[in-house]
Amino acid sequence: MLSLGELADIKHGWAFKSDFFSESPNENPIVVGIGNFKYEGGFRFENTKIKYYEGDFPSDYLLESGDILLVMTCQTAGGEILGIPGKIPGDSNKYLHNQRLGKFINKRHDLLDDDYAYNLFKSADFNRFLASSASGTKILHTSPNRILQYSFELPPVSEQKAIAHILGTLDDKIELNRKTNDTLEAMAKALFKSWFVDFDPVRAKAEGRPTGLPADISDLFPDSFEDSELGEIPRGWGVAKIDQIIKIQKDSIDPSVTPDETFDHYSIPAFDSGKNPAKELGSSIKSQKFLVGDDDLLVSKLNPSTPRVWIPFSSSARRSICSTEFLVCRASTDVGRAFAYCLASSDSIIEVMTGLAGGTSNSHQRIRPSDFLSLDCCIESQKVRSAFSDVVEPLLRKTLTQRIESRFLASARDALLPKLITGEIRIPDAEKMLEEVGV
């Protein structure tokens, strides 16, 4: 057994002054914060919530491509993300090492492979080690000294590299699925915006231009506009309240009544961690939840400026429940879930929801269900909606399939990781397992 401190060091970040934060690039470096690290079926750095820095700073806090940073502070009660690692991407941006993140510095490359260490930091054992000694109550902290006390078995470097390659193959597939899903969802939302917000096919016909659509679909759109309370809309279309096309489901359950039952629990943290529900025993769920049906759609009431619209995937083995922070929506049959999903996640609806949200603090704004249901939307003919669903439903079904696959791959990776590290599973056996599942 070796301690991490015998092989590496952990460097504190610098306290960059918020007075010099900017939203404008202007060749300014990006301050890397905890919010830039995300778990979505795999650990990754995310270039969102960007803060640029316009002030002076010590040059040794500039980061390089491939640098590994570890989260040292979290607000999660159990400390589940303490030690979560992320790698700095290789791109043209400059990145700065902020406080509350520890930079891993390998001092013995002859004994410890960087990619092996990166996977070591993902292990539940490493997280439990840090969480068990975290200081603080609502906000938990660990320290470089505590991280460096972590002890582990160290196989030869050649074996470390092989283990890292196997686990990296799974991460690469999970990341590919995520990017593909982002593209598919973007395509669905872009088509919705084109047809039902910008009315591109109608405008094209009104101006005598081709719509670019197959003739049978193009014929479904009118060639002129008329006035409405929403402004100009295609002639013959109408305006409806959301409650005319979506009904809120309020069937609830107290999971603790069946303590040994395993539920698929849809929560805000689960959405933010890759849209994968957590498998939880009823005994660990302490409050009332809504039941979620196979055809339901979840729309978050909390902080609508950060839209969380979720199509659950059903499990024949478990009942699905969700946080009461979600509205459980069921679209009418003639509208369909694909249309309802794109409507609820459209920029125009999100903007109005954000304006209607209220609360005691900026971080906990909520929209009332009645306000959501009273929003106006443009309703077209059922034939147009059917044509839309014919195109978009397969895209959304593909995202569900790939989310399920990524969940399986993440479970496989998380199960393999400690067994490979401890030598319980040998590398040839792990490679054969991956080949059998087509990875």
Distance between CA 345 and CA 304 in Å, rounded?
10
pLDDT, position 110 = 96
Cβ atoms of residues 2 and 151 within 8 Å: yes
* Average pLDDT score over the chain: 90
Q: SS3 of 126, please?
A: helix
Lowest mean pLDDT, pick from 10-24, 25-39, 159-173, 295-309: 25-39
Write out pLDDT tens, residues 336-394: 899 999 999 999 999 999 999 887 666 688 999 999 999 999 988 889 999 999 999 99
In 10 A of CB 278, how many CB atoms?
A: 14
In terms of pLDDT, which residue wins out, 76 or 195? 195
Write out pLDDT tens, residues 194-228: 999 999 999 999 999 999 999 999 999 999 999 99
Section 270-298 average pLDDT: 90
pLDDT, position 136 = 84
Residue 42 has pLDDT above 60, yes or no: no
**Hey, which of 38-47, 125-134, 182-191, 313-322 has the most confident mean pLDDT?**
182-191
Distance between CA 261 and CA 43 in Å, rounded?
29
Q: Give the CA distances from residue 211 to residues 195, 237, 279, in Å, rounded to whole numbers and listed in that order.
A: 11, 18, 46
Q: How many helices (H) and strands (E) does the chain have?
A: 12, 28
In terms of pLDDT, which residue wins out, 65 or 314? 65
Q: SS3 of 330, please?
A: strand
Domains and CATH numbers, the chain: 2-153 (3.90.220.20), 155-198+382-439 (1.10.287), 242-379 (3.90.220.20)
Percentage of the chain modeled with pLDDT above 90: 64
Confidence of residue 77 (pLDDT cuts 50, 70, 90): low
Confidence of residue 98 (pLDDT cuts 50, 70, 90): very high
pLDDT, position 410 = 85
